[in-house]
Amino acid sequence: MSKNLAELDQKHFIHPTSSIQQQQQHGPAYIFEKGDGIYLTDTKGDTYIDAMASLWNVNIGHGRSELGEVAKEQMEKLAFSSAFSTFSHEPAILLAEKIASIAPGSLNAVFFTSGGSESNDTAFKLARHYWKLKGEPERRKIISRKKAYHGVAAASTSATGIPQFWDMAGTFMPDFVHAETPYEKSTAEAIESMRQVIEHEGPETIAAFIAEPVQGAGGVIIPPDDYFQAIRNLCDEYGILFIADEIITGFGRTGKMFGMENWNVQPDLMTFAKGVTSGYIPFGGVVVSDAIHDMLKERSTGTLFHGFTYSGHPTASAVALKNIEILEKENLPANAQKMGERLLEGFKKIRNDTQIIGDVRTIGLLGAVELVKDPAANERFPAELGVAGKAIHALYDHGVICRPVTFDNTDIICFAPPLIINEEQIDTIVEKVHDAVVAVEKTIGE
Ligand code: PLP
């Protein structure tokens, strides 16, 4: 059965973000068929700790029958109907109200999408539309940061600050600009770089700045504590809208319901996806401030020509509502905070037994371990050694799934386990990271 699946996969399935050649040669390495809590089991019967919550998104853990039940109930009642124009339905209305009630400050109105890339593309259009309605149509540019990941639709690819993602598109779109990120930089340096970009481009041409509260795909880059307030001040100084991309950080991941709450900073628009349904069904959206919503209500005279077939999908909305109910009832943001602290303590202890761990960091249940040649000098390994890749495979062999980041010659291992994880399971991850890193260290130089 599984052999057959592997062959069919090789023949017919073009995998997202994959090495096509490798897939053609070897087929899929793992075919999962069951999920339960923090665990995934493959067709060979082997069980793994899903220390990435799959794609940073299965926040309430695998196998929650409550979500299946609510989906079945909604599908039998009204699986789908349009939310375009004057049509509406109860699940999307209730979900919009719920999200408005948990989103920070004046973020009170929601535009729904089917995922993260659509959400960011929508946010850019809403920001530009806001300026057009306000009488400043020349404000079209979007500033994002190096190492940012904002998705793979046309505009979100362009906002992404990892050049490998521009390859398929040829280049990035006009009116997208990339500034420095605070990785290995102070707030002052990162803000100065932003200011230079704004001055160089012309503040009157800039619609919005977009940032992940914690850069995920870039390597779990947690900013200095004063960074986002300084960003907010800079945006206010130049009248630029601030978009928080909460697609990874939203719905409890960083120990707060939304990542930006760690620094009490209020964005003008906030995009979300992933954790809103814990990945049980594709979904996403953009929450906008009252100021933006009021502008739309007061000055939009024609139709807002933007909408996805599945904007506000009734079944997805019902699943999202149940998922948020579980996150709240089980206090999962608080658990993420507590377990993240334990994970960090564990990572620090591993340093006693190896010489190749540099920076370790967590914020809630987003974490990273950097592997370096010389921790004291923060000297990196030569890329050709492929140290992060080796560590990831050693971790797979030890039954833990996590993710390597090797852009810009880094060797970072990222962690984002389901928020339901307990102390014993955190300790197991730490133990296995210890064993894998020690094993990899022995192979270096062999
Ligand atoms: N923004 C961030 C921060 C992400 O991590 C991702 C996906 O990983 C996206 C946007 C794109 O979301 P999607 O893959 O649902 O289109």
Atom 2 of ligand 1, residue of closest alpha carbon: 150
Residue 213's identity, in one-letter code, is P
pLDDT higher than 70, residue 330: yes
In a domain, 11, yes or no: no
Mean pLDDT of 280-304: 95
What's the CATH code of the domain at 420?
3.90.1150.10
> Looking at residue 244, what DSSP letter applies?
E
> What pLDDT shows up at residue 111?
98
In a domain, 98, yes or no: yes
Query: Which pLDDT tens digit goes with each residue over 351-371?
Result: 999 999 999 999 999 999 999
Tokens of 305: 């020509």
Percent share of the chain, pLDDT over 90: 93
Q: Are residues 98 and 234 in the same domain?
A: yes
> What pLDDT shows up at residue 27?
86
How far apart are the C-alpha atoms of 421 and 39, rounded to whole Å? 10
Percent share of the chain, pLDDT over 70: 99
Mean pLDDT of 262-287: 98
In a domain, 94, yes or no: yes
pLDDT higher than 80, residue 316: yes
Task: Tell me the ipTM for this assembly.
Answer: 0.99
Q: Are residues 431 and 286 in the same domain?
A: no
Mean pLDDT of 179-201: 95
pLDDT higher than 80, residue 1: no
Atom 10 of ligand 1, residue of closest alpha carbon: 150
**CB contact set of 7 (below 8 Å; sequence gap of 6+):** 27
Q: Are residues 296 and 354 in the same domain?
A: no
Q: Are residues 80 and 122 in the same domain?
A: yes
Q: Are residues 325 and 343 in the same domain?
A: no
Binding site membership of 121 for ligand 1 (Cβ less than 6 Å): no
Q: Are residues 243 and 378 in the same domain?
A: no
> What pLDDT shows up at residue 446?
66
Q: Of 313, 329, 345, at which residue does a domain stop?
A: 329
Q: Are residues 49 and 73 in the same domain?
A: no
In a domain, 1, yes or no: no
Mean pLDDT of 98-124: 98
Q: Are residues 137 and 204 in the same domain?
A: yes
Task: Identify the CA nearest to 57 among candidates 338, 260, 363, 320.
Answer: 320
Binding site membership of 247 for ligand 1 (Cβ less than 6 Å): yes
> What pLDDT shows up at residue 445?
67
Closest atom, ligand 1, to C-alpha of 156: 10
pLDDT higher than 90, residue 3: no
Binding site membership of 161 for ligand 1 (Cβ less than 6 Å): no
In a domain, 349, yes or no: yes
pLDDT: which is higher, 18 or 438: 438
Q: Are residues 198 and 315 in the same domain?
A: yes
> What pLDDT shows up at residue 144?
98
Q: Of 329, 348, 368, at which residue does a domain stop?
A: 329
Closest atom, ligand 1, to C-alpha of 55: 8
Query: What is the DSSP pairing of strand 107-113 with strand 284-289?
Result: antiparallel
Atom 12 of ligand 1, residue of closest alpha carbon: 116
How far apart are the C-alpha atoms of 350 and 119, rounded to whole Å? 39
pLDDT higher than 80, residue 2: no
Query: Which pLDDT tens digit goes with each residue over 20-36?
Result: 888 888 889 999 999 99
User: What one-character-per-residue DSSP string does 297-318 give?
Assistant: HHH--S------TTTT-HHHHH
Q: Are residues 339 and 324 in the same domain?
A: no
How far apart are the C-alpha atoms of 395 and 71, rounded to whole Å? 35
Binding site membership of 117 for ligand 1 (Cβ less than 6 Å): yes
Compute the mean pLDDT over every residue in the chain, rounded to the nearest whole number. Answer: 96
The pLDDT-based confidence of 420 (bands split at 50, 70, 90) is: very high
Query: Which pLDDT tens digit goes with each residue over 371-389?
Result: 999 999 989 999 999 999 9
Does residue 343 contact residue 392 with C-beta atoms inside 8 Å?
no
In a domain, 17, yes or no: no
Q: Are residues 324 and 420 in the same domain?
A: no
Separation of CA 252 and ligand 1 centre (Å): 16
Q: Provide the domain limits for residue 71.
A: 65-329
Cα 380 to Cα 18, 331, 439, distances in angstroms: 25, 39, 18
Give the total number of structural domains in the chain.
2
Q: Of 329, 364, 381, at which residue does a domain stop?
A: 329
In a domain, 302, yes or no: yes
In a domain, 105, yes or no: yes
Closest atom, ligand 1, to C-alpha of 282: 15
pLDDT higher than 90, residue 229: yes
> What pLDDT shows up at residue 121?
98
> What pLDDT shows up at residue 405?
96
Closest atom, ligand 1, to C-alpha of 284: 15
Q: Are residues 53 and 86 in the same domain?
A: no
What's the CATH code of the domain at 316?
3.40.640.10
